[in-house]
Structure 1
Amino acid sequence: MRALLVVNPKATTTSTRTRDVLTHALASDLKLEVATTEHRGHARDLARRAADGGQIELVIALGGDGTVNEIVNGLLHEGPDPDRLPGIAVVPGGSTNVFARALGMPNDVVEATGALLDAIAERRSRTIGLGLATGTPDTADAEVPGRWFTFCAGFGFDAGVVGRVEQQRERGKRSTHALYIRQALRQFAGEPHRRRGTITLSQPGEEPVDELAMSIVCNASPWTYLGNRPVYAAPRASFDTALDVLGLTSMSTAAVTRYGTQLLLSSPERGPRGKHAVTRHDLTDFTLESQAPLPFQMDGDHLGLRSSVTFTGVRRALRVIV
C-alpha cells in the first residue's frame, strides 16, 4: 500500500527521535512518503494533492486534532467519496487527540503505531460520518466558509476558550489541561451573555430554540478529555449518525456550577440535563444564529467570529483505517 505520512513537527507529545522511529516502523510495511508541515494549512495542501494525484491509498496523520482536521479538509476538498479517495489513519501526537481516541486508538504514539500496523495488515477500516459547517465570516482573517469537522464544533463560550488558549500558545505557553481550565474561568468572568443568550437554534420543521447562551455541536462521543477522563457533552453522538447539539439557556454561576459538575461526572449513558439544558440528537441540517458575532471553533481550531453557521451532518463521508 502506498501511503503519505504527514508529520507535524510541533506536535505536543512527540520528539524528533520518536518520529524517526515511528517513520521507520511504518515504512517497513508501507510504500511510504513522508512530508513535514511547515505552516498552518500545509497539511491540508498535502492531503489535497494526495487526493488529486490518484496514487496515494492512505494518508497518515502524525499530530494532533488540528493536523487531522486539515488533512480531512484536503482530502474532501471536492466532497466525500470514500470509495475513491485515500483513507486516513491517525497516530496521535497532540495534547488531547480526541478524534483518535474516539475511534478507539491508544493515546500512546508507540501503541497507536502498532495498532495501526495491525489494522493495515488485517485490512480493517470503517466509514464514518462528518460535520460540515458553512457561514459568513465576520472578520477579515476568518477561515473561508465551508469546512469539515471530525468530532466537534463550538459557537460561543467554548470557542472563546479555544481562542484564549491559542493566544497563550502563541506567547509560548504549553497546551495543558490546566491552561484550558484557567482560560475557561477567564472567559466565564468576561462573558457578556451569561444570563440572556443571543443564539437561536433553527432546524427544518421544528420551532426554533431562542436565547441559548452557549452551544456545542458533537459528531462523536466523548466531546473531549481531561487527562484520561472522557467528557460527554452529547453521549448519544456517534460517527455513525448525524450531529448532536448541547445548548445552555443560562450561564449564571449556579447554572455553570451545576452543568460543569455534570460534565465532569458524565458517562456514555448520562450527560448534562436540567431545565437550562437543550439537547438534540442526530440532526442532519440546522443553523445556529446569533444577534451578536460570537467566537467559532471546529476540532479545537479557533476560526474567528460568526453571526450565523449552518451545519450539515454527512453520513459515510470518510474511510478510516482503525
Structure 2
Amino acid sequence: MIQSDWLVILNPHAGSRRGAHDKGKIMKLLKKHKINFHMVTSDYPRHAISLAGEMVAAGYRNIIIAGGDGTLNEVVNGVFQQDNCPPEEVTIGMIPVGTGNDWIRTFGIPDEYKKAIEIILEGKTIRQDVGKITIRRPTETVTRYFMNMAGFGFDAMTAARANRLKDKGKSGIRVYIHSLVSSYLSYRSRRLRYFVDEKPFETVLFSASVGIGKFNGGGMMQAPGAIPDNGEFQVTVIRRIGLWGILRNFTGLYNGSFIQDKHVTTHTARQIRFESDKPIPGESDGETLKRGHYTLEILPGKINVIYGNDRYFSRQPHAEEHPLK
C-alpha cells in the first residue's frame, strides 16, 4: 500500500555522479517543502525503466525524476512498457541533476534544485506528446519511447561519444564540443531514403534531428520549430556539409538560425521513416539506440508533465489542482 504521494527516482550517476553527491541535499529540500515522498535509486543502466514500471504497478501515479534527460527517457519507457494504467494517468516532475538538461529548457524548469521543487509545488501541468520509435533489425524489432529529441547519423555518433566522456566523469558544455569535433573527424555521410508522412526523399545524410522539444546537445536548438503539444515532430535534416559549413553555423546551432543554411531542410510530420543499405546510428534523448531501420510516430498528449512557463507551447495549458491535495 502506498504511504507517500510522490515517488522520487534518483539517478546517482547523473551529472557525473552529482546525483549521488547531492542525494542528501535533495531529500532535505523535499522534506523542507513538506513533500511526502518515497525515494528509490537507479543503480545501473536501464534500471529506471524497471523501477518506473514496478512502481506504477504498485500504484504510484506521481513521479519526480532527480536526474537528467537519460533518466527521464528511462522512466518514460518504463511507464509506457507497463500495462497497469494508461500513461495519461501519470504525472512527471523534474529536479535537474544531469549534464545537458535539455528537456527542461523547453518546459521552463530552472536548473536549480530549490526552484525546480517550487515549480513542482505549483503543480501546473500540460499533456505533452511522446515519440515512439520502432527499430527494425534482421533478428528483432525493438520499440523505444522518447520525450525530447531523437537524432540520427552524426548527431547520434556525437551523443555516443558524449556518453562515454560522461562515464569517465567529464561534464559541462566541453563534453559536447569535444564530442562534436572528434565525431566529425571520423564520421562519413551516407546516402539514405527517408519518408515524411510516407512522402519519399533521398539524400546524402550528415545528420537528422526529430524534435518534440527544441533543444539537445547541451543547449543546441536543433529543432527550433518544435512544439511539445501540437501533435507533430519537427524534423531537421542536414545534408553532407563540410567543416567550414559546421564552423559557419556553430552559433546558429544555439539560436536555431542554422536551419536557413542551404544544406538544411526542415519538415513537420506525424511519422518519419529512415531506411538505408547500411543502418545508421541513432539516439533518443541522448541514449544510444540499436542500429537498424527506424520508424518514428508521434503520440499526441500521452503524459502529464509539470512545467514552469508556457512560452513554447501551442495552446494555453491548464493548471490542474496539485496532486498532493
Matched letter for residue 160 of structure 1: M
Residue 217 (structure 1) aligns with:
210
Matched letter for residue 220 of structure 1: G
TM-superposed CA distance for 1:82, in Å, is: 4.4
Give the TM-score taking structure 1 as reference length: 0.85
Structure 1 residue ranges, 4+ long, deviating more than 6 angstroms after superposition: none
| Residue aligned with 2:294, SS | strand
Matched, 1:99 2:103: yes
Quote the Cα distance in structure 2 between the aligned partners of 1:290 and 1:31: 50
Matched, 1:6 2:2: no
TM-superposed CA distance for 1:248, in Å, is: 1.4
TM-superposed CA distance for 1:224, in Å, is: 4.3
Quote the Cα distance in structure 1 between the aligned partners of 2:26 and 2:211: 31
| Residue aligned with 1:208, SS | strand
| Residue aligned with 2:249, SS | helix
Residue 294 (structure 2) aligns with:
309
Matched, 1:318 2:303: yes
Range moving further from structure 2, 143-152 or 87-96: 143-152
Matched, 1:202 2:195: yes
Residue 294 (structure 1) aligns with:
280
TM-superposed CA distance for 1:290, in Å, is: 2.2
Matched letter for residue 157 of structure 1: F
Q: Deviations over 1:128-185 (max 9, x none)?
A: 00111111247x9xx9711111111111101111112223334x24133212212211
Contact 2:196–2:267 (CA<8 Å) still a contact in 1? no
Matched, 1:278 2:265: yes
Give the TM-score taking structure 2 as reference length: 0.84
Unmatched tracts of structure 2, length 5 or more = 308-325
| Residue aligned with 1:292, SS | coil
Q: Deviations over 1:19-69 (max 9, x none)?
A: 22322433453431110111111111111012222x213011001111111
Contact 2:273–2:295 (CA<8 Å) still a contact in 1? yes
Residue 76 (structure 1) aligns with:
80
Matched, 1:174 2:164: no
Quote the Cα distance in structure 2 between the aligned partners of 1:94 and 1:66: 8
Residue 146 (structure 1) aligns with:
143
Quote the Cα distance in structure 1 between the aligned partners of 2:128 and 2:73: 14
Contact 2:11–2:19 (CA<8 Å) still a contact in 1? no
From 208, 229, 232, the equivalent of 1:240 is 229
Q: Aligned-pair RMSD on alpha carbons?
A: 2.4
Contact 2:12–2:21 (CA<8 Å) still a contact in 1? no
Quote the Cα distance in structure 1 between the aligned partners of 2:141 and 2:96: 27
Range moving further from structure 2, 232-241 or 208-217: 208-217
In percent, how many aligned pairs have the same letter? 23
Structure-2 change in CA distance of 1:23 and 1:290 (3 Å): same
TM-superposed CA distance for 1:4, in Å, is: 0.6
| Residue aligned with 1:145, SS | strand
Structure-2 change in CA distance of 1:31 and 1:260 (3 Å): same
Matched letter for residue 65 of structure 2: A
From 32, 36, 42, the equivalent of 1:31 is 36
From 237, 241, 260, the equivalent of 2:250 is 260
TM-superposed CA distance for 1:209, in Å, is: 3.4
